[in-house]
Amino acid sequence: MKILQADYILTCNDDFEIITDGAICFDDTIIEIGKSQTILNKYKDTPVIWAGKNSVLLPGLINTHVHLEFSANTTSLTYGDFIPWLNSVIKNRDAILDAGGAGCMEEQLQKMLHSGTTTLGEISSFGDDFDVCVKTPQKVVYFTELLGSRPDSVDVLFQDFQSKLHHSEDSRSDTFIPAISIHSPYSTHPILAKNALDIARKENYPVSTHFMESTAERDWLDSGTGDFMNFFNAFAPNARPFVNALEYLDLFQDTHTLFTHCTKAHHDEIEKIQKMGGCITHCPVSNRLLNSGRLEIENIDKKMLTLGTDGLSSNLSLSLWDEMRAALMLHYQGDLRLLSRLLLKMSTTQAASALGLNNGALKEKKDADIIALHLPSKLQSLEDLCTQIILHTKVVDKAFINGKEIL
Ligand code: MCF
Ligand code: FE
């Protein structure tokens, strides 16, 4: 048992309470949180760690959508539009994977940890990220990806997917949680998706899918036209979409799914996701680089939102602070303080509930996943706390996962 004491505690609890001059008593979970004086008096012989001048404690950040396997990419992919990007992924994928490898992914995981990300949702396309994700101190919700549209390969693809899923199940632990990713409505055959989602329902796996990310995807699902028509015609003349957008969403009934991007989703689709209890993962930098448009967060129930960086395939950083700073600038119409607060909730408590985890808030009985950071100088107004930490944080001073100090 130990006590962590700081100038400010951003609890990210239901009331978004901020405690000044606060302390947390914890072992692997949080035992009690409150004013320093109360906690220090009550737990007298417990060792105390002082987080320093202008310090802030908050829940470890949770990045709900990452593709670590693309970590070696810097300048190999084409940005500015979705189909040219996708073509460049197909062309350069092997070179990027070869240039990457375990060392490169480990380095990114370390960087993420130093920036305060203690949990991530990893979308695994090939399984190359498996060992590093099992080994890393962070909590990883490991989404084995299912992708493929040729009806004659459905059986082989599904067998391969199931064997990867079983493999991840063998390594399940407190910090490694198997999960399922259905790549997207344009790339995954509905028979494959249905079979995988039956497993998700039965075994209660979290699910992730890319949904309504581009005009090309919108046009293709609505009418079988647009850039995807030309893209698919190169492989299969007269190809047609398998399902429309609402039919695709129907497949996810009674699952816990994170729908990533949704920049081109219509109101009735967002409503359907909400009714199903689904979440939306917002990846603002990726959306800008792939010309996906701006997610209209003002028209969405804010409680549905989580934040993700996507991979280095469509970003220059896997730091959620960089992502929050980008989001602050992208959604310039909104109230700055409210947006800062929302971005922190999207990266903590809302992300935890989307992934089905017992972290993301500093309150009794939650996992002791805690980060400590400091502001560069004294804060003038408590109302600006969220904005100031988003503006100024690059790395954190301390990180605890299940109560163990990792940094
Ligand atoms: O989220 C972005 C853009 N949308 C779709 N896919 C990906 C993203 N970043 C990486 N990907 C991966 C995806 O998981 O790229 C491949 C898939 O394995 C694209 S399909 C050849
Ligand atoms: Fe993605």
Q: What is the CATH number of the domain that holds 41?
A: 2.30.40.10
E strand map for 93-217: 117-124, 139-146, 176-182, 206-211
pTM: 0.98
Answer for the pair 350, 105: CB distance below 8 angstroms, yes or no.
Answer: no
In total, the chain counts a number of residues equal to 407
User: What secondary structure, in 3-state letters, does 201-215 show?
Assistant: HHHCCEEEEEECCCH
If you measure from the C-alpha of residue 68 to the centroid of ligand 1, how many angstroms do you get, rounded to a whole number?
A: 11
Burial of 311: CB neighbours in 10 Å, binned 0-12, 13-18, 19+: buried
Do 241 and 150 belong to one domain? yes
Do 310 and 220 belong to one domain? yes
Do 80 and 160 belong to one domain? yes
Cβ–ligand 1 contact at 262 (below 6 Å): no
Kindly give the number of the ligand 1 atom that is closest to the alpha carbon of 90. Answer: 21
Answer for the pair 251, 308: CB distance below 8 angstroms, yes or no.
Answer: no
Do 172 and 84 belong to one domain? yes
Q: Which stretches of the chain drop beneath a pLDDT of 50? A: none
Kindly give the number of the ligand 1 atom that is closest to the alpha carbon of 65. Answer: 1
Q: CATH number of the domain that 195 lies in?
A: 3.20.20.140
Q: Which domain holds residue 279?
A: 61-355
Cβ–ligand 1 contact at 209 (below 6 Å): no
Asked whether the CA dihedral 180, 185, 188, 193 is positive or negative, the reply is positive
Cβ–ligand 1 contact at 90 (below 6 Å): yes
Task: Say how far apart CA 336 and CA 230 lie, in whole Å.
Answer: 42
Do 340 and 209 belong to one domain? yes
Cβ–ligand 1 contact at 69 (below 6 Å): no
If you measure from the C-alpha of residue 139 to the centroid of ligand 1, how many angstroms do you get, rounded to a whole number?
A: 22
Answer for the pair 55, 388: CB distance below 8 angstroms, yes or no.
Answer: no
- Going from the C-alpha of 97 to that of each of 107, 159, 299, the distances in angstroms are 15, 23, 38
Do 50 and 75 belong to one domain? no
| SS3 of residue 257 by DSSP | strand
Task: Say how far apart CA 342 and CA 113 lie, in whole Å.
Answer: 22
Tokens of 55: 């310090």
**Per-residue confidence (pLDDT) for residue 235, from 0 to 100:** 85
Cβ–ligand 1 contact at 213 (below 6 Å): yes
Answer for the pair 301, 255: CB distance below 8 angstroms, yes or no.
Answer: no
Phi, psi of 25 (to 5 degrees): -100, 125
Q: Of all helices (H) and strands (E), which one includes residue 338?
A: helix 336-346
Q: Which of 385, 302, 403, 321 is nearest to 47 (CA)?
A: 403
Kindly give the number of the ligand 1 atom that is closest to the alpha carbon of 311. Answer: 9
pLDDT, tens only, 186-222: 999 999 999 999 999 999 999 999 999 999 999 999 9
Tell me how many domains the chain contains.
2
Do 208 and 272 belong to one domain? yes
If you measure from the C-alpha of residue 367 to the centroid of ligand 1, how many angstroms do you get, rounded to a whole number?
A: 31
Active site residues: 213
If you measure from the C-alpha of residue 310 to the centroid of ligand 1, how many angstroms do you get, rounded to a whole number?
A: 9
Do 269 and 342 belong to one domain? yes
Do 117 and 48 belong to one domain? no
Do 189 and 105 belong to one domain? yes
- Going from the C-alpha of 54 to that of each of 25, 95, 115, the distances in angstroms are 20, 45, 18
